[in-house]
Structure 1
Amino acid sequence: MTARPILDFHMRLAPRVGARARLLSTLDECGLDRAVVCAGGTIDLDRLSCQLIEGGHVETDPDNDAVLAACGGTDGRLVPFYFANPHRACDVYRDRAAGFRGLEISPAVHGIDLLDQSVTALVGVAESFGHSVYVVCLARQGAGVADLVTLARRFPAVNFVLGHSGIGNIDFYALALIADEPNILLETSGGYTCVAEAALRRLGADRVVFGSEYPLQHPAVELAKFQAIGTTPDQWRLVAWDNAHRLLGEEKP
């Protein structure tokens, strides 16, 4: 069941000329009403692929200025998230947080553990601005889903979103780890249909959010996943719309 309205909770702005126009065109093509947008292109994909397996990091600053500019003038259709670089002082985020609607932290890119002081300082800033925190976890000590659980317990007033269905395509273990953590939701891009189906059953539809990871994954693929598992209209309304607006601190339209 993939009827509208739909908010894609995880799209990226590619660092290319015309990226904003292509993103908006993709929303129209796929029947997406709104999208949360983070900076893309912070790391070369070949290097990212290597880092996921071998470790390592970059200290590159995501282009948050481009995201803010792209989201401007869209009447809220594009919602800017701040992609933090934990190698920088958290004041960099604090000084700009009012212009954004949430925070992303990615050990996959920047390589800093989720319980490092630099990350907890960023989350503290997010808490003060009412931002939810999107996190990409890894199968690595310090950056795993268990570490996210520890972080979430330190900040019970912050809503966290575990990106990409956990780690890999079939992370049932992630569902078990976050099951008793009400302030952690699951964003479903990348995972198998069996994980999305299990998430609806084990976590409940009120803790699952739709996302695509565009442009690395076409939204039509992720929409088909929910169509294939027979998501009910009531479940889909939560996954595709209501939960995202709760994370954004907005009343449901």
Structure 2
Amino acid sequence: MEAQRVFDAHAHLAPRPDSAERILTSMDRNGIDRTVVVAGAAISPDELSRQIIVGGHIEKDADNTAVLEGCAGAPGRLVPFFFANPHREAGEYRSRGTEFRGLKLAPGVHGVPLADERTQALVSAAAELGHNVYLHCLHREGFGVRDLVGLARRFPAVTFVLGHAGVGDLDLYGIDLITDSGNIVFETSGGYTSVVSAAIERLGAERVLFGSEYPLQAPEVELAKFKALGLPADQWRLIAWENTMRLIGETP
């Protein structure tokens, strides 16, 4: 796999003074040029782990202002997404949306199903702003990949990012579910190399994005998956750079 500019499609920026410095150091160490960042620390990893398995939710807001402040110190390198809370009206996102480059939804955090009118109000605002929507799916009714497909059909002009390689680390079924939904792309953090390979084969490299899930995952681990796959240079260029550039509305 030849040297290639890398755009990390998904990482978190916690509301702490040194967060931007830490992620930039990690990016430099791993040869990552740009990173999409969303607020971190809205929920602890232990709480999130429990909610993913047994359900539940929080109604706490993520610190989107801290994300903007962190990105301001590294213009162009850190790209802010708005982490929405469906328990609030969509008005805040709509009014602040031009400061961000996309929308992040976390059903596992806030516990609001994908077909819920509150989720749809936020996606409608994203459509107005020309934003894509990054979200996680869960193995629960109302939160699954099939529910995402239904949401994507309601908003065909919006690009949706299925985060973390679908549900679990072996979601080959999820790949099949989104195959015919051209406005759903696949972000690879957390998935097995076999799943990443299947996504490239079944969806095409133009619908696959490299993401790290920093700081919960070390970016070098996610990069190593692609190195192990030994992709042709044209496929790696799409996955590592061009697809995420298009996602945020920039021409590769």
TM interval, short-chain normalised: over 0.9
**Alignment check: 8 A CA contact 2:210 2:239 kept:** yes
**Alignment check: 8 A CA contact 2:15 2:67 kept:** no
Residue identity in the other structure for 1:151: L
Q: CA deviation at 1:19?
A: 1.0
| Deviation string, structure 1 residues 124-160 (Cα, Å, up to 9, x no partner) | 1101111000010000101100000000000000000
The residue number in structure 2 matching 1:158 is: 158
The residue number in structure 1 matching 2:68 is: 68
Runs of 4+ in 1 over 3 A off after TM superposition: none
Using the alignment, how far apart are the partners of 1:73 and 1:45 within structure 2? 27
Using the alignment, how far apart are the partners of 2:80 and 2:212 within structure 1? 16
The residue number in structure 2 matching 1:91 is: 91
Q: Work out the percentage of aligned pairs sharing the same amino acid.
A: 58
The residue number in structure 2 matching 1:11 is: 11
The residue number in structure 2 matching 1:222 is: 222
The residue number in structure 1 matching 2:52 is: 52
The residue number in structure 2 matching 1:172 is: 172
Q: Which structure 2 residues correspond to residues 1-253 of structure 1 after superposition, within 5 A?
A: 1=1, 3-252=3-252
**Alignment check: 8 A CA contact 1:14 1:215 kept:** no
| Deviation string, structure 1 residues 170-226 (Cα, Å, up to 9, x no partner) | 000100000000000000000000000000100000000000000000110000001
When normalised by structure 2's length, the TM-score is 0.98
**Alignment check: 8 A CA contact 1:208 1:239 kept:** yes
1:96 is paired with a residue whose SS is helix
Q: CA deviation at 1:2?
A: 6.0
Question: When the two structures are aligned, how many residues end up with a matched partner?
Answer: 252
Gaps of 5+ in 2: none
1:150 is paired with a residue whose SS is helix
**Alignment check: 8 A CA contact 1:4 1:32 kept:** no
Using the alignment, how far apart are the partners of 1:136 and 1:47 within structure 2? 16
Using the alignment, how far apart are the partners of 1:169 and 1:75 within structure 2? 33
| Deviation string, structure 1 residues 26-70 (Cα, Å, up to 9, x no partner) | 010000000000000000111111101110000010010000111
Using the alignment, how far apart are the partners of 1:187 and 1:7 within structure 2? 12
Gaps of 5+ in 1: none
